[in-house]
Amino acid sequence: MERLKKIAQHLSPSAEGLSKTETKASKYREALLGAREEIIKMVEEINCNPILVRLAWHDAGTYDRNVKAWPKCGGANGSIRFDLELGHGANAGLVKAVNYLKRIKSKYPIVSWADLIQLASATSIEHAGGPKIPMIYGRVDVETKEQCPKEGNLPGAYPPFGDGATDAARHLRNVFYRMGFNDREIVVLSGAHTIGRAFKERSGVVPNGYGEDTATKFTCPFFKARSDGKEGIGMPGGKSWTANWLSFDNSYFKRKNDTKDLLWMPSDSALHEDPSFKVFFAMYGHDQELFFFDYKKAHKKLSEIGSKFIPDGGIRLD
C-alpha cells in the first residue's frame, strides 16, 4: 500500500509544480495582453492591419493534415519569420510585416513568434471592425530555418496553378481540403479580402505599385478607407478588392463591376461562379452577421491547425 502511495505521488503533479505552471501561464498571459496593446497602437498609427492578417494566414496556411509529425505538418508555428520562408514567391513583401512585429517581440520576448503573428492578425481584424475571434495562445515556435515548410503550399490567384489544377475552384479545394476545410469555410475565409490590397512589387498580379503615381481612387492618400472614418491609409498605392479596404465587413461579397479601381482575380470569380461556392457567397453578401459568425470560427481553426500548444489547452485572453 505504501509503495502504491509513493507511485501515485510521483505521477500526480505536486501543488508546488502546479503553482509554478500557473505562475508561468499567468506571466505569459500578461505578456500577450501587453503585446496586444502595442499591436493596437501600431495599427491605429500606421494602418497595417491587412499585411498582419496576410502574415498570419501565410504562416498557418502551409498545414498538411496528411502529415502527422510536428512541425513537418506545417501550420502556425512561426516558421515564416525565417528569411528562407519569406523568400517563397507567395510571401513577397511579408518581411515588412515581420519587421513591424520585431519591436514588439523584443519588448515581450517570452511571447512566441507563432503567437505574436496570430495575435496581430486577430487584433487587426477586430480593430478594423470585424468580429472578436475566440483565440487561444501558447503556440510553440520552430527553432531553425531547416524546419520551414517546402514552397508551394499556399493558394495562387491565376493559372497555371502549382498543384496542376485546371481551374481556380479546383485549386482552392486542393489547397484548403488539404488543411481540412470545406466549401463553406473556403468562401468565408476568402471574405478576409474585404481588407487589403495587392501590389505589383509583391504578388505582381496588378500593375499598381507602391506610391501615389499608380494608386486607384481607393488607395490614394486622400481616401478614407477605415471603418471608423478616420483619415490615413498607410502607404498609398496598390489595388484593393473593396472600396473601404481598411474596414472588415461583408463588402467583398457585394461585388461591384469596377475592374478599373477594384481587384478581382480568377480565385475570386470562382467563389460566385462555382455551383457550391456561390451559395455561400450569396449568403454572406446578404447577411454580415452570419459572415462574422462563420468567419471567427474558421479563422480560429486556421490559426490552430498544425500548432503545438503549451499548456495543452492553450491560454485565453478574454
Instruction: Measure the CA–CA gap between 223 and 232, rounded to whole angstroms.
Output: 8
Closest CA to 266 of 168, 173, 174: 168
All three cell numbers of 21, joined, read 505552471
Residue 229 identity: G
Q: Length of the chain in residues, anyone?
A: 318
Instruction: Measure the CA–CA gap between 262 and 73, rounded to whole angstroms.
Output: 36
Q: What is the CA radius of gyration of the chain?
A: 21
Residue 211 identity: G
Q: Which residues pair with 137 in a beta bridge?
A: 315
3-state secondary structure of 12: coil
Which sequence positions are flagged as catalytic? 58
What is the 3-state secondary structure of 83-118? HHHHCCHHHCCCHHHHHHHHHHHHHCCCCCHHHHHH
Sign, Cα dihedral of 91, 233, 199, 285: positive
